Homo-oligomer: A and B are copies of this chain.
Amino acid sequence: MTAQAAALLAALRQCLGAEQVLCDGDLSAYEIDRRRRYHGRALAVLRPGSTDEVAQVLRLAAAHGVAVVTQGGNTGLVGGSVPDASGAQLLLSLQRLNRVRRLDAANLTLTVEAGCILQAAQEAAASADLLLPLSLAAEGSCTVGGNLATNAGGVQVLRYGNARELCLGLEVVTPHGEIWDGLRGLRKDNTGYDLRDLYIGSEGTLGVITAAVLRLYPQPRAVLTALATCATLEDCLNLLQRAQARSGATLTAFEVMNAQSLALVQQHFAAAALPSMPAAPWTVLLEVSDARNEQHAATLLESLLADAVAAGLIDDALVAQSLTQSRTFWRLRETIPLAQAADGLNIKHDIALPVSRIPAFVVQADAAVQAQCPGARSVNFGHLGDGNLHYNVMAPAGVAPAEFLVANEDAVNRRVYDLVNAHGGSISAEHGIGVLKRDELLRHQSPVALALMQRIKAALDPQGLMNPQRLL
């Protein structure tokens, strides 16, 4: 270790206390990403306990010219939250910055610190009979700060929007170690540039989000789900349009799962599979959240599905008869990523398209993947209502996943992303760019937009110390 690094660590220990500056022992929880694709090494793992301590850390880092990688729950899927292998970057963990600061029921807002686990924030809202609608698979371990830094999506975006739409205000520490207190719980505020939305989704490259004001909603009185099977994606899309027209904002989720997705669940988690549903090319999970009562919700859902059967859009449908059955339907959907993981590595695409382009895209993408690697299996599921597909590609049966990945990942990505681009889509709908998609971003994002982003980065982080090599 250089004398300079030693001096920095000494100053950090003085500021945070020695026990919050971790250099030794097993730091793999901080240094390896969730998918275990990136193994980094930090100069130190820092665990500040207050916004002011974060500001002190960033001032020290700026003074020493040392890079800082910020981490919440380390559940990201694009390698954005672990340090590189140099051993020269500071890993700033916000796990201790986890208080619920304030719930204002009449204003429908919740103020939490960045390290607050999403589920804890959900529970704080629920304790006042209110709903924090941000909901995603990692909610038991991801943090609100990470959700905002990556503009997380999830399963209720159709009705409530992404993390961006659920955030009214931020507290941010700039790379210069200044604290911007933008924690306002306002629905309208036109007083200058939209710094809030600039920080949201910037993946820690412009500063550190330390707290946020989140938007809450009244708890719906009844949440009811149904499954329906469709022969084609066009039919799924038609069902979506009918459901939106008929139910307005009552429709809170509209998920699709292809046959291969459900076959994987059957194979690896048979208990989560649903023997009562016939296998079909596509299965839709619909959810309605009703402000009145369960009967009101059931009437809507049943009449919608009956009409869809009559119109030939769906073959079969099943309305959950209880909360337990609703959970069973959701478990089917949520088990797909776990079943994929159990099957081994796969080539993941988290893409968004105009909803109207999805059927054509999938036909073309399936053909392109088969041309590249015959027999590969498309595990295709996601949030059709948001135009967001998790279009993943698995090795053909009998081929080792790791070898398949090495041999095909780049070529498959190229084919899939070129098609996404041709249809006016996005190569990252909700997972962000991180390290994994940086090169693809350079290929697919407009050069004018990239130049604007570079200018903003240089203006706000002139030393280039915040999450370097991420995103840009």
Q: Does A337 count as interface, using CB distance less than 8 angstroms?
A: no
Tell me the nearest residue of chain B to A385, going by C-beta.
Answer: B187
Give CA–CA (A217, B202) in the complex, Å.
29
Q: Which of A169-199 contact B (CB under 8 A)?
A: 174, 178-182, 184-195, 197-198
A445 at interface by CB-CB < 8 Å? yes
Comparing A27-35, A62-70, A240-248, A266-274, the segment that makes contact with chain B is A240-248
Given A197-B194, A460-B456, A162 and B188 contact (CB-CB distance below 8 Å):
yes
Q: Is the CB of A201 within 8 A of B195?
A: no
Interface contact B180-A448, CB-CB below 8 Å: yes
Segment of A12-20, A102-110, A362-370, A397-405 in the binding face: A102-110
Copies of this polypeptide in the complex = 2
Looking at the assembled complex, report how far the CB atom of A468 sits from the nearest CB atom of chain B, in whole angstroms. Answer: 15
Give Cα A455–Cα B449 distance, bound, in whole angstroms. Answer: 18
Compute how far the CA of A289 lies from the CA of B245 in the bound complex, rounded to whole angstroms.
12
Among A162, A248, A387, the most chain B Cβ lie within 10 Å of the Cβ of A248
Which residues of chain A (144-167) have a CB below 8 Å from chain B?
A: 150-151, 153, 157, 159, 161-162, 164-165
Q: A249-B249, A456-B193, A456-B459 are in contact. Are A188 and B153 (CB under 8 A)?
A: yes
Q: Give A57-112 interface residues, CB cut-off 8 Å to B.
A: 104-109
Mark the stretch among A37-45, A306-314, A408-416, A425-433 that contacts chain B: A425-433
Rounded to whole angstroms, the CA-CA distance of A430 and B186 in the bound complex is: 11
* Cα distance A220–B248 in the bound complex, in angstroms: 8
B445 touches A191 (CB 8 A): yes
A244 to B219, CA, bound (A): 10
Q: Are A246 and B292 in contact (CB under 8 A)?
A: yes
Smallest Cβ distance from A353 to chain B, in angstroms? 7
Residues of the B chain whose Cβ atoms lie less than 8 Å from the Cβ of A241: 106
For A445, the chain B residues whose CB sits under 8 A away are 191-192
Q: Which of A121-160 contact B (CB under 8 A)?
A: 150-151, 153, 157, 159
* A186 CB contacts on chain B under 8 angstroms: 352-354, 387, 424-426, 429
A377 CA to B184 CA, complexed, in Å? 29
Q: How far is the CB of A356 from chain B (nearest CB, A)?
A: 4
Chain B contacts of A458 at CB under 8 A?
A: 459
Contact B449 A460 (CB under 8 A): no
Most buried by B among A174, A192, A195: A192
> Is there contact, CB below 8 Å, between A218 and B192?
no
Partner of A180 from B245, B250, B449 at Cβ < 8 Å: B449
Question: Does A23 have its Cβ within 8 Å of any Cβ on chain B?
Answer: no
Closest to A106 in B: B356
Q: Do A200 and B194 contact each other (CB < 8 Å), given the known contacts A174-B448, A184-B424?
A: yes
Q: Is A5 an interface residue (CB 8 A)?
A: no
Query: Taking the complex as formed, is A388 at the interface, i.e. its CB lies under 8 A from any CB of chain B?
Result: yes
Task: Please tell me if the beta carbons of A356 and B291 are within 8 angstroms of each other in the complex.
Answer: no
Complexed CA–CA distance, A431 and B182 (Å): 20
Task: From the candidates B292, B448, B457, name the one contacting A179 in the complex (CB within 8 A).
Answer: B448
| 17 pairs, A vs B, C-beta closer than 8 Å | A106-B237, A161-B165, A178-B451, A188-B352, A188-B386, A189-B352, A190-B201, A193-B206, A194-B201, A195-B449, A195-B452, A197-B198, A218-B248, A248-B291, A249-B249, A456-B456, A458-B459
Q: Which A residues are closer than 8 A to B by beta carbons?
A: 104-109, 150-151, 153, 157, 159, 161-162, 164-165, 174, 178-182, 184-195, 197-198, 200-202, 206, 217-218, 220, 237, 241, 244-250, 289-292, 352-357, 383, 386-388, 424-433, 437, 441, 444-446, 448-453, 455-460, 471-472
Q: A159-B249, A188-B386, A188-B388 are in contact. List 9 more A-B contacts (CB 8 A).
A: A104-B356, A164-B194, A182-B446, A186-B429, A189-B426, A191-B445, A194-B197, A217-B248, A456-B456
